[in-house]
Chain A
Amino acid sequence: MRWAPAILLVAVGAGWVGQGWTAYYRPDRVAQAELLDQLAGRLEPGDELAYLPAWELGWAIELERRFSAHARRLGLLDLLRPAARIWVISSPDAPPVPAALGVPQEALVVGRIKAERYGFGAGVLPRVEAWQQGRCRLSAKRTSCATDAGQVRRGELVFDGRFAQGHKLTLKDDVALELRWTPPAAGQLIGGIGHTDHGARHGRSPVQVTLSQAGKELGRWTLQPTTGLRPVAVEVVGGSPLTLTFRCAKAERNEAVFSFGFAP
C-alpha cells in the first residue's frame, strides 16, 4: 500500500486527461459547416466525395443534403480504388488515406478538420463495372450475371460495419468462375479482393484467385476466409482482355468479393 497515494493520483489524472482527450475529438459543427461552404466553391462536376472516419454520421447527412449529385465512397476499403478527382474529408481522429489515392493535390483546412483533393486525372475508371461472365456482361443497368460456374453481383459489399462498392461472387465447389474485362489502355488495375464478413464466417476453405492477360499470369492470390479487402495493384496492357478467375474447393457460403478501378 506504499504506492497507494501515487496510484490514486494517477487514477484521478487519467480520468481527467481521458475526458479532455476524448472531448477534443468531438465533432465541431461550426468548423464542419465552414469547411463544406469552402468545399462547395471548389467542387467540380464528377468529383467524388469521401469522409474519414467512415462512420462519422454528421458528414453522411450533410454531404447527402448539400452535394447529393456527387458520388460518395464508403470508407477506407472503398478508397482502395483510384479516382479521377476525389475530396477526402478527415476528422482529427481519421485513419490515414490509403496510398492508392496518391498524394493530395489541394487541401482545405478549417480548425481540426481538413478536406484534401486526390486523383489521377482524366481517363480513370473509379469502378470497373463491365465484367463479362460467359455471354453475360454487367453494365450500369445489369447488376448480376449467373452461369453454371456461379454468380456475380455488383453492389455494396459489407465487411462488419465497413462498406465498399464492388462485386460479390457465389462460387460452386471446385468450379472456376471466370470474368473478363478489356482495359481501354495500358495502366493499372487497382483495388482489392477478399471476403465479406458473411463469407468469412461461413467459408471454410481458401479461394484461389488468378489474373491473367493474353496467356500471361499477372497475379495469383490465395484468399483465406477473413473479412476485408486485400489491396491489389497490377500493371495491365490495353486492348487485350483480362481474365479474373476464382476457384474454391469447398465453396459453401463463401462470399469472395472484388472491387477494382482502372488508372491509365
Chain B
Amino acid sequence: VSARRWGLLVGAVYVAILLATSAGVGITRDEGYYFHAARDYIGWFEQAASGEGSTFSKPVIDRFWSYNPEHPVLMKTAFALSERLFHDTLRLLGEVDAYRLPGMLMGGLCLALMVVLGAHLWSLPVGLLGALLLGVQPRFFYHAHLACFDTAITALWLATVTAYVLRKQRFGHLRLGLVFGLAIATKHNALFLPIVFMLHWMWVERAALFVGLWPRPGRGASGFHLPPIPWWVFAMGLIGPLVFLAHWPYLWPDPIARWASYWGFHLHHEHYPVRYFGTGLWEPPFPLAFPWVMWGVTIPVATLICALAGVATALRQVGRELWWGEAVRPDASSLLLLNLAIPVLLIGMPEVPIFGGTKHWMNALPFLTLFAAQFAWVAACRCSGRGAVRLGLAAALVLPGAISCLRHHPHGIGSYNSLVGGVRGAASAGFERQFWGGGSAALLALVNERAEPRAKVFFDRTNREAFDTYQATGMLRGDLRFSPRPSGADWAFAFHQPDSDWVLVDLRQRMDLVAGVAIEGVPVVSLFSGRR
C-alpha cells in the first residue's frame, strides 16, 4: 500500500476520533468570532447564487466580508460551507461540529502529510510513527478539534514544505505555488515560508553562492556569485499572491490598502498575559526561551527525548556535511531543521506576542516530531530485527501520549508533561492552565438546571459570541441573559488565568462557590452563584 493511502487512512481515522470526542470541547473565544464571520460570509454566496444585485460591488462585498478582516477567509469560508452542508442541509452533524469539521479535516491532513513526507524522506514506518506521535500530543489533539486556524496553518505549512520537497515532480512547481497560496490564505505565519526556503536554498547552493569568497588557485572565481534563481521563487511569488487575492473578496475593492491594514494589525498586535513560572508576562520584552521551555513541558516526554536525539543526529549530519562535505541526505536534515527552528525563533523574539499557549508555533511541531520518529524507528530497528519487537517499541512510545490525551481531554489546552509534574506540577510551578474561554462548557448543564428564569450570567473569558452559539445550539437555556460584568450577575464564572485573578477575588467576596472544572484537581474555571 502506498504512503498516500496509508496517509489517507490515518488521517481519516484521526478525523473520526476528533468528531467522536468533540462534544466536551467548549467554544473558544476565537471560534465565537469565526462562527459570526462564517454566518456573515455565507450570505455573500447566497446572494451570488440568487443572482440578485451586484455580488462584486463594493457595498455588497463590504456588507458581507467586513467582519474580522484581521484574518484571511479560507478557513472561515470552509467553516461556513461545512455548516451549511453538514448541518443545515444534510443534518449529519450538530451545528458546532459542522463548523469545526474543516479544522478537524486539517488535523487529519496533518497526519496524512506526516506519513507522506516521512515516507518520502526516510521510510513508511517513519512517516506512520511520526503521524501517530503528532496525533497523540495532547495540545495538538485539543487544537485539532477547533474551528480555528492553528491546526490548519500547521497542515498547510507542512503541505507547502511537502510540495517544496516534491517540486521536481510533474507540475510540482504549480502545486507548490497553489499550496503556498492556500497557506497564506489561512494565516499570516505562512508568509515566513519563503524565508525558510530561501535559507534552505542558500544552504544547498552555498558552494555556488560563496565560491568567490574563498578563491582557490585555478578556479578563477572571485566575489559573490548569484546562482540561477530557482523556479519555486516564481511559483510561490506569483501564484501564491494570486490565490490569496482571489480567495478574499474583502480585498478586491482596494487590495493594497486592505492588505496593508491586515498586515498592520499583526505587526501591532496587542499582548495578552501569560503565566510562566509563577509570573504574569504582560508586556515585552518576553523571555527568549519561552517557546522552547513551553515545548519542553508540554510535548510527551518520550517524544521529546527522541526528538532531541533526532535533532542532535540531524545537526551532526549537517555539521559533517559542512565540515567534511559529506552529503548523506542533502535536503532533508537542513530543510526540516529550518522548519523546526524558524517558527520557534520568531515567537522567541522578545517583542513578539506570546499568548496562545503553544499554538502559535505549532507549525514547527510536525518537523520536531518527524525527527523523533526517524530517530525512534532507526533505534527500534537496531534494538531488534523482529518486526513485532519494533512495533511493540513504537506502540510503547506512542501510548503515553495517547493516555495523556485521554487524561486531559477536553482541556488539552492546559496539558503538561511529566517533566514538570503533569498538570498538577505545572500548576504548582505557576504555568498557565488555559486562556481561551472554552472551559465553561462543562458547567452549562448545571447552570441550565439551577439558574432562576432570566438569570444574568457573567461568563468571564467566554465571550458573547460563544454565549450566543451555546444558546442557539440549545446547550444553554435561551432565557438566560449575558452579563458583561460580574457585578449584578446572579451566576458568574471565573477563569483561573492571570487576567481573571481580579474576577476570582471579586466573586469570592460576594458569591458562593458552587462548582468548578478541573483537570486532575487543577482548576480551570470556577462557578459562583447567589448574591451575599
Contact = CB atoms under 8 A, between A and B. Distances in A.
Interface of A: 1, 4-5, 7-12, 14-19, 21-23, 25-27, 53, 55-58, 60-61, 64, 68, 91, 93, 95, 155-156, 158, 160-163, 197, 201, 227
Nearest to B400: A15
30 contacts: A1-B313, A1-B379, A4-B375, A7-B309, A8-B375, A8-B379, A14-B301, A14-B302, A15-B301, A15-B303, A21-B421, A26-B521, A53-B424, A55-B496, A56-B523, A57-B523, A57-B526, A58-B521, A61-B513, A61-B514, A64-B513, A93-B421, A95-B428, A155-B509, A158-B501, A160-B430, A162-B278, A197-B498, A227-B278, A227-B279
A12 to B, nearest CB: 5
A97 to B, nearest CB: 15
B23 interface: no
B383 A5 contact: yes
Contact of B522 (A9, A57, A95, A156): A57
Given A155-B509, A161-B275, A12 B393 contact: yes
A57 B504 CA distance: 13
Nearest to A64: B513
Nearest to A14: B301
Nearest to B416: A22
Contacts of A93: 421, 424-425, 428
A29 to B, nearest CB: 10
A64 B418 CA distance: 31
Contacts of B302: 11-12, 14-15
Contacts of A68: 512
B152 interface: no
B418 A57 contact: no
Pick the most buried of B283, B501, B512: most chain A CB atoms within 10 A of its CB. B501
A162 B280 CA distance: 11
B440 interface: no
Nearest to A28: B521
B386 to A, nearest CB: 14
Given A1-B378, A163-B505, 13 more contacts: A1-B313, A4-B378, A8-B397, A14-B302, A15-B399, A21-B418, A27-B521, A55-B496, A57-B523, A58-B521, A155-B505, A197-B498, A201-B280
Contacts of A227: 278-279
Given A11-B376, A15-B301, A160 B275 contact: yes
Contacts of B520: 22, 25-27
Contact of A18 (B301, B313, B383, B396): B301
A156 B422 contact: no
Contacts of A10: 305
Given A8-B397, A16-B400, A156 B505 contact: yes
Nearest to B309: A7
Contact of B512 (A11, A64, A158, A160): A64
Contacts of A1: 313, 378-379, 382
B393 A19 contact: no
Contacts of B283: 201
